Amino acid sequence: MITVTRIEVIDEVSYNHMHCQQCNSKIGWKPRNSRVHTTARRAIRSGATPEPFAVTCMRCKTNYLIITDGK
């Protein structure tokens, strides 16, 4: 399940930006110690139950599929 919650202020000590791979503009926030990897859909471990969601870069309109592993 994906939960969407509105927040007023981003804690920039705990979070940093994700960047578009095409135009390098900011497309979202992630926890500071986590990493973002681009992988093919078939490369996901069979035992994992990912929760995918899509993000579109507002500058170049590139679409990204972000998959969380629940950790």
The pLDDT tens digits for 21-71 are 889 999 888 888 887 765 444 545 555 566 677 888 899 988 888 876 655
Residue 32: inside a domain: yes
Q: Which domain holds residue 51?
A: 15-68
Residue 3: inside a domain: no
pLDDT of residue 35: 74
Residue 61: inside a domain: yes
Residue 10: inside a domain: no
Residue 33: inside a domain: yes
| Whole-number Å distance between alpha carbons of 68 and 26 | 19
Overall domain count for the chain: 1
| Whole-number Å distance between alpha carbons of 27 and 19 | 6
Cα distances (angstroms) measured from residue 43 to each of 6, 37, 39, 57, 68: 32, 12, 6, 24, 14
Beta carbons within 8 Å of 20's beta carbon, 6+ residues apart: 26, 27, 57, 59, 60, 62, 64
Residue 7: inside a domain: no
pTM higher than 0.85 for the full model? no
